[in-house]
Amino acid sequence: MKAIVITHPGGPDVLQIEERPQPKVSHTEVLVKVAAAGVNRPDVYQRKGSYPPPTGAPQDIPGLEIAGTITAIGNQVTRWEIGDKVCALVTGGGYAEYCHVPEGQCLLVPGNLSFMEAASLPETFFTVWSNVFDRGKLQPGESLLVHGGSSGIGVTAIQMATALGSKVYITAGSDDKCKFCEELGAVKGINYKTENFAEAINKLTDGKGVNVILDMIGGDYTPGNISSLADEGRLVLINAMKSKDAQVDLAQVMRKRLIITGSMLRSREIGFKSAIARSLEQYIWPLLVSGKIKPIIHTVFSAKDAAKAHALMESSKHIGKIVLSFES
């Protein structure tokens, strides 16, 4: 099979097409002929050599989400049959013509979505569900602040939380991005280049703060996050793009009875990811079928142009997801 390979750590141009052996499935895995693969920021970190894959995952083929057709199944697989159209969260190896996946991490492609659209779902949908709803325990009627509102994570969080009855605020780096997020369902977009987000949240909430914050920035955003949380608020960290080091006002944490938590999904066990898939299947997939939640795709690149896709990801000029197509 053809695969997009990280030939050595470096810039986007180190991504090259190479021939690799087609994966074999274990007893509880399926083999998917990949039609499309989503591009995510962890792929960029892996390409640069700063985010090594977990043990057992392909070390030089990135890609954390795919969509395509099942072509082989292990002898203990019970959920799927050859020919089923699925999308899936994978630990790596998604930038290839074939990818093997634990059966529990697959979800049926909704009939109203293309493979390109379906490939844009797993990484952000699994991440948002696990962190906003499982860890952050966001409830209907509560409020959520999402940093990076126009990112793949951001547009997913806006739609999920709004559809399930919560009020969403976001930060983004331009007025156009803020406007897009508001049209998608956010109550207010805050341009972090022209406004102090903590001051803006204080005004927007009449000084009460928000119940949950989903943060992928870290670093010097942390004091503003702490001051933006309501009593009993939850700060959920999923990345630290600015810095892993932060100043925390412990007095505020104690006074407001705050919870600071976070997670990394990629290295979690199959059973954990499979449980998220079943929650998505129950609560979110019907909203995709009805059109209440929709994929937001900025650009689809041919797989041979993976370097261009990574360059766009690093520019942060996109709104929504970037996808690679393996369809000829």
pLDDT in tens, 182-219: 999 999 999 999 999 999 999 999 999 999 999 999 99
Helix (H, G, I), strand (E, B) or coil at 94: coil
Domains observed in the chain: 2-121+266-325 (3.90.180.10), 125-262 (3.40.50.720)
> Among 86, 148, 135, 101, which residue's Cα sits nearest to residue 285?
86
DSSP lists the bridge partners of residue 172 as 191
pLDDT single digits (tens) 233-278: 999 999 988 999 999 999 999 999 999 999 999 989 999 999 999 9
Instruction: Provide the angle, in degrees to the nearest 10, between the axes of the packed helices 306-315 and 41-48.
Output: 110
Contacts (Cβ under 8 Å, ≥6 apart) of 255: none
The pLDDT assigned to 328 comes to 67
Question: Residue 8: what are its φ and ψ, rounded to 5°?
Answer: -170, 160
pLDDT single digits (tens) 32-65: 999 999 999 999 999 999 998 998 899 999 999 9
CA angle 169, 173, 174 (to 5 degrees): 95
For the entire predicted model, the pTM comes to: 0.95
